[in-house]
Amino acid sequence: MASGVKITNEEMQMMNIFETTTGAHTKDCIIDQKLNRIIFIVKEGDMGLALGRQGSNLKRVKELLKKNIDVVEYAEIPEELVKKALAPARIKTVSMTQRKDGRKVAIVTVDAKDRGVAIGKGGRNVEKARIIARRYLDIQDVIIT
């Protein structure tokens, strides 16, 4: 895992609001200006707390922060972290490889029926996986096959 992830004051404030509202422990917060959203990485096992009954906690956080919210459950194993970043798509395999130019890439195989879910509207789900892979795994790209 890549070390030295820096959290800004703004991200720290967002994490505090999220934790206070949901009761879930956050490991990280990524403000994605490009897609106008905030991605929270929650501790393993805290996804249920983060979402709340029928998504009620998530809705409250969204109203408070006035941004779209994505929540990803953390995983120590790199392949599992990529899988969780692409949830709810059913992932068959994740393999890490290094290209001839030295770039590290995660190649994700999904069921044909879940390809659209893995990519997401406008590529938002695969972009979330790319952001997380760059930040935690030093992987430059995530490719869906």
pLDDT digits (tens, 9 = 90+) for 33-89: 999 999 999 999 999 999 999 999 999 999 999 999 999 999 999 999 999 999 999
Residue 1 belongs to a domain: no
**18 is written with which tokens?**
């999220």
**87: domain CATH number?**
3.30.300.20
Domain interval for residue 88: 78-144
Quick check: 1 pLDDT over 60? no
User: Predicted confidence band at 115 (pLDDT cuts at 50, 70, 90)?
Assistant: very high
What mean pLDDT is reported for the chain? Answer: 94
Packing angle of the helix pair 78-85, 124-137 (nearest 10 deg): 150
Give a three-class secondary structure readout of the chain: CCCCCCCCHHHHHHHHHHHHHHCCCEEEEEEECCCCEEEEEECCCCHHHHHCHHHHHHHHHHHHHCCEEEEEECCCCHHHHHHHHCCCCCEEEEEEEECCCCCEEEEEEECHHHHHHHHCHHHHHHHHHHHHHHHHHCCCEEEEC
- Which amino acid is it at 43? K
CB 105 within 8 A of CB 141: yes
Task: Say what the pTM is.
Answer: 0.92
54 and 94, same domain (yes or no)? no
Q: How many domains does the chain have?
A: 2
Quick check: 3 pLDDT over 70? no
82 and 140, same domain (yes or no)? yes
51 and 102, same domain (yes or no)? no
82 and 67, same domain (yes or no)? no
**Where a domain ends, among 73, 88, 119?**
73
Which pLDDT value is given to residue 6? 85
- Which amino acid is it at 49? L
**Where a domain ends, among 31, 51, 73?**
73
88 and 57, same domain (yes or no)? no
